[in-house]
Structure 1
């Protein structure tokens, strides 16, 4: 898949990239420097779904929309950054297909500004995914 390949090549210090379909909860594609057991990759897809569309997250989105008078069905959260002990994980919702979320995993030493800039650029260039 071209999006995953481009993220891996163009995002600084990228160790892995993947694409999750939020409608099905499935990992559509992954490219990583390490091999991972299938169950770990399945858990990544499930965790991504929980991060963006878990019950509590949807409740928060609904409250924000209500308070701001927003009536669209568009999701409120578009990007989520998670730092673990050694890694930085960036989750980005596709602007044209909200059910598609890209996941980029980098070394913790990554320049976060460059991570966002390059990942957003690749996502924008891919457009229609």
Structure 2
């Protein structure tokens, strides 16, 4: 996992105003890696994997995903319609991105809200294959 930690640390310096990045395995519910530039409460870190799973696999999300797939004639099997989720909080931008190689893995970035959202997305998308390739 040290290679994953190294790549995540590098991505933090690449994504504008990035404060933290993590790697979540939705199927196991585990936070496989996390790097931050500041200290955060441990209980928040422990909830990251569960909250990420809710965003991508909550019952209502799965229902909406299946409705979109059906209406567009897409396969109903393991294909996931939603690939990215962006959450803007009062002070932060939270980006959650499903990896292409491992559809049940999500990389998350947390940036200051003052960052340019377009640049955050662009740099996060560039970093995504490098991070998933490190696993």
What's the TM-score, normalizing by structure 1?
0.93
Q: Which residue is 2:9 aligned to? A: 5
1:65-76 aligned at under 5 Å gives the runs 65-71=69-75, 72-76=77-81
Q: Deviations over 1:73-104 (max 9, x none)?
A: 21111011110000010001111111110110
Whether the aligned pair in 2 keeps the contact of 1:17 and 1:105 (CA below 8 Å) is yes
**Cα displacement (A) at 1:16:** 0.6
| Range 8-17 or range 72-81, more displaced | 72-81
Q: Could you say what secondary structure the match of 1:44 adopts? A: helix
Aligned residues: 129
The structure 1 segments of at least 4 consecutive aligned residues displaced by more than 4 Å after TM superposition are none
Gaps of 5+ in 2: none
Partner of 2:111: 106
In the TM superposition, what is the alpha-carbon distance from 1:40 to its structure 2 partner? 1.2
2:83 pairs, out of 72, 78, 82, with 78
Question: TM-score normalised to the size of structure 2?
Answer: 0.89
Partner-residue secondary structure (3-state), 2:94: strand
State the partner residue of 2:37.
33
Contact in 2 for aligned 1:7/1:104 (Cα 8 Å): no
- Any conservation in 2 of the 1:3–1:123 contact (CA below 8 Å)? no
